[in-house]
Chains A and B, each alone.
Chain A
Amino acid sequence: MRSTTQTQAPDARGVAWYLDKAMAYLVFGAGVSAILLIVGIFVFITKEGVGFVWDTVDLGQFFGSPAWRPTSDTPQYGALALIAGTASVTGLAMLIAVPFSLGAAIYIAEFAGGTQREALKILIELLAAIPSVVWGFIGLSVLNPLIIEWFDVPVGLGILNAGVILGLMAAPIMTTIAEDALRAVPDGYREAAEAMGATRWQVTWRVVLPGAKNGLTAAILLGVGRGFGETMAVLMASGHAVQLPDGVFDSVRALTATIAAELGETAVGSDHYQALFTLGILLFVVTFAINLTADLVVRGISNKD
């Protein structure tokens, strides 16, 4: 309220100026350290695993052999069965999660009204917040006996169980992202189509979905990435047996679950330890590629088509 404020020079540096500067540095620091951290993790994983790739194992065996026997007298490090395990579980999970999450997103974004929409969104957030170990527990103690009973198989832990669990896990986050993508479609498109006599469903199918296709693709890709990286639930629900699966009831073992289960028992620097880090590199590269693709899809295709 002092009149001096009015006579201050326009470039005066008050408290606000310093606060602003301080905040800018703080945010900058936080951002840079996040990036440094990621680079650091990548460097660490690479350092631990890459020697193994160069010296001990040949890549033909690593990618071509299903024999993962790190603790036998003649250790074998074939990751094919593990890759197949991760791929089959993730694949089934996406078969389940994609239709569910897209359907839910379409309903919430295009058909549900005010309070119903809000209620559903809260429900979805709640589902997304369930810890993965709880999902694994559900797989073990609920889905396992159900699968045994329904399909008359000896073991209910396998691709089907892990795929369903992972699908349910990935669906909420995919729904949220897909819904955002649908809501980002300008309302003018819907209005234009409605004014031409399109029904609600025609508007959704012919206008909103094409308009949101980049965002929806990204949602699916992020779901795939999520499935790829998920560990605990898959470890608990997949049966954790190293084998190339023949059908959906077979037990499999995922890359992530292998690392989680074995890393604690290995000597630092041993071949086994390094082999697990190699699996880590593989996961990192694949997940990174998926997320990068999702990112490029979201931005790139809006510029060209």
Chain B
Amino acid sequence: MTFGTSRRSTTCEGVLGETPPAIRTVGLNLWYGDFQALKDVEIEVPRGSITGMIGPSGCGKSTLLRCVTRIVERVGGVRTTGGLQVLGHDIYAPDVELVQLRKRVGMVFQRPNPLPLSIRNNVLFGHAIHTTSVRGAKAERQQLLESALREVMLWDKVKDRLDARAIDLSLEEQQKLCIARLLPVKPSILLMDEPCSALDPDGTAAIEQLIWSLRGEYTILIVTHNMAQARRATEQCAFMLGGTVVEYSKTETMFASPAAKRTADYIEGRYG
């Protein structure tokens, strides 16, 4: 939020002015009823890299993430001011197509939430809702299914039971599935809200490895409360506190020499 921070964020971006950043917020404020959950958030997420968001619980990380696809407005009484651009488009513009926005920006939730469908239909759900042709080629669907599941390293485990119910998978496999189901519609941005917090250490490691393997291909914005994870899995990192972005910089910079004292305090475990 500080001046220095926003300059750093500009350097993160690389080619300034050429291609717009994946996500850019301009003085973003958000209220749940009377409660202000985001305060003047200014952040730019460069394309093709992994950006982390850390901060104590309740500081607005999920809220900011959920703003990016405007899914935050599902609950009533949400009011926003300020701007939010995704891939160069103002998503608060009156003519914005939420369906298209949500096709470009996939979201992974804190608790794995596969749909009450088969593994196959989970993976192909996005494809099905975004395809207007009544009967897409069966071979094409099969190919999408396989490549999505391969990309999340799940294919070999589930290829013999694609029609089994998704909720019978282990939590780790469910979370992989929840990532896989975003891929067939070829999103540009993946938002992940503490994707490992419901998993055991092995599952966490597996998902982290997966996220790392997706780097470059997708812009990834990931919320984590795990400092070690933020440190090893992200390229730049934002630290939030009480609805504001306190600091936003290269991950190694933030962890080696945080600019704000509050950041240092948090990283060293002095907040909840």
- With A206-B129, A207-B115, A210-B116 as contacts: A195 and B99 at CB distance below 8 Å: no
> Would you give the 0/1 interface string for B140-173, flagging 1 where the beta carbon is closer than 8 Å to chain A?
0000000000000000000000000100000000
Q: Which residues of A contact B128 (CB under 8 A)?
A: 206
Q: Are B71 and A188 in contact (CB under 8 A)?
A: no
A211 located at the interface, meaning its Cβ lies under 8 Å from any Cβ of chain B in the complex? yes
Q: Are B102 and A197 in contact (CB under 8 A)?
A: yes
CB distance from A153 to the nearest CB of B (A): 42
Q: How far is the CA of A194 from the CA of B113 in the complex (A)?
A: 12
Q: Are A202 and B129 in contact (CB under 8 A)?
A: yes
A185 located at the interface, meaning its Cβ lies under 8 Å from any Cβ of chain B in the complex? yes
A55 located at the interface, meaning its Cβ lies under 8 Å from any Cβ of chain B in the complex? no
Residue in contact with B116 in the complex, picked from A185, A194, A198, CB distance below 8 Å = A185
Residue in contact with A189 in the complex, picked from B116, B126, B181, B182, CB distance below 8 Å = B116
Interface residues of B in 104-123 (CB under 8 A from A): 106-107, 109, 111, 113-117
Q: Are A195 and B71 in contact (CB under 8 A)?
A: yes
Interface residues of A in 284-305 (CB under 8 A from B): 305
Q: Are A197 and B129 in contact (CB under 8 A)?
A: yes
CB distance from B188 to the nearest CB of A (A): 13
- With A194-B74, A197-B102, A197-B129 as contacts: A188 and B111 at CB distance below 8 Å: yes
Q: Which residues of A contact B69 (CB under 8 A)?
A: 195
Residue in contact with A191 in the complex, picked from B109, B116, B129, B182, CB distance below 8 Å = B109
- With A191-B109, A191-B113, A207-B116 as contacts: A197 and B165 at CB distance below 8 Å: no
Q: How far is the CA of A191 from the CA of B66 in the complex (A)?
A: 11
A65 located at the interface, meaning its Cβ lies under 8 Å from any Cβ of chain B in the complex? no
Q: How far is the CA of A192 from the CA of B122 in the complex (A)?
A: 11
CB distance from B76 to the nearest CB of A (A): 8
Q: Are A197 and B98 in contact (CB under 8 A)?
A: yes
B130 located at the interface, meaning its Cβ lies under 8 Å from any Cβ of chain A in the complex? yes
CB distance from A248 to the nearest CB of B (A): 35
Q: Which residues of B contact A189 (CB under 8 A)?
A: 113, 115-116
Q: Which residues of B contact A211 (CB under 8 A)?
A: 115-116
Q: How far is the CA of A185 from the CA of B115 in the complex (A)?
A: 10
Q: Which residues of A contact B106 (CB under 8 A)?
A: 195-196
Q: Which residues of B contact A207 (CB under 8 A)?
A: 115-117
Q: How large is the interface on B (under 10, 10 to 19, 20 to 34, 35 or more residues)?
A: 20 to 34
Q: Are A197 and B117 in contact (CB under 8 A)?
A: no
- The interface on chain A, measured as residues whose beta carbon lies within 8 A of the other chain's beta carbons, has a size of 19
Q: Which of A192, A196, A305 has the most CB of B within 10 A?
A: A196
- With A185-B116, A207-B115 as contacts: A305 and B165 at CB distance below 8 Å: yes
Q: Which residue of the partner chain A has the closest CB to B126?
A: A196
Q: How far is the CA of A151 from the CA of B232 in the complex (A)?
A: 78
Residue in contact with B129 in the complex, picked from A185, A196, A210, CB distance below 8 Å = A196
A53 located at the interface, meaning its Cβ lies under 8 Å from any Cβ of chain B in the complex? no
A141 located at the interface, meaning its Cβ lies under 8 Å from any Cβ of chain B in the complex? no
Q: Which residues of B contact A195 (CB under 8 A)?
A: 69, 71, 102, 106-107, 109
CB distance from B126 to the nearest CB of A (A): 5
B100 located at the interface, meaning its Cβ lies under 8 Å from any Cβ of chain A in the complex? yes
Residue in contact with A197 in the complex, picked from B74, B99, B114, B116, CB distance below 8 Å = B99
A193 located at the interface, meaning its Cβ lies under 8 Å from any Cβ of chain B in the complex? yes
B125 located at the interface, meaning its Cβ lies under 8 Å from any Cβ of chain A in the complex? yes
Q: How far is the CA of A276 from the CA of B48 in the complex (A)?
A: 78
Q: Are B129 and A198 in contact (CB under 8 A)?
A: yes
- With A191-B71, A206-B129, A305-B165 as contacts: A196 and B113 at CB distance below 8 Å: no
Q: How far is the CA of A194 from the CA of B102 in the complex (A)?
A: 8
Q: How far is the CA of A192 from the CA of B165 in the complex (A)?
A: 16
Q: How far is the CA of A115 from the CA of B107 in the complex (A)?
A: 31
| Pairs A–B under 8 Å by Cβ, sample size 18 | A189-B113, A191-B113, A192-B113, A192-B114, A195-B106, A195-B107, A195-B109, A196-B103, A196-B106, A196-B129, A197-B101, A197-B126, A198-B129, A202-B129, A206-B128, A210-B115, A211-B115, A211-B116
> Which 10 residue pairs spanning A and B have beta carbons closest together?
A197-B102, A211-B116, A188-B113, A195-B107, A197-B99, A192-B113, A196-B126, A197-B103, A198-B129, A195-B71
Known: A199-B129, A202-B129. 12 other contacts (CB 8 A): A185-B116, A189-B116, A191-B74, A193-B115, A193-B125, A194-B74, A195-B106, A195-B109, A196-B102, A196-B126, A198-B129, A305-B165
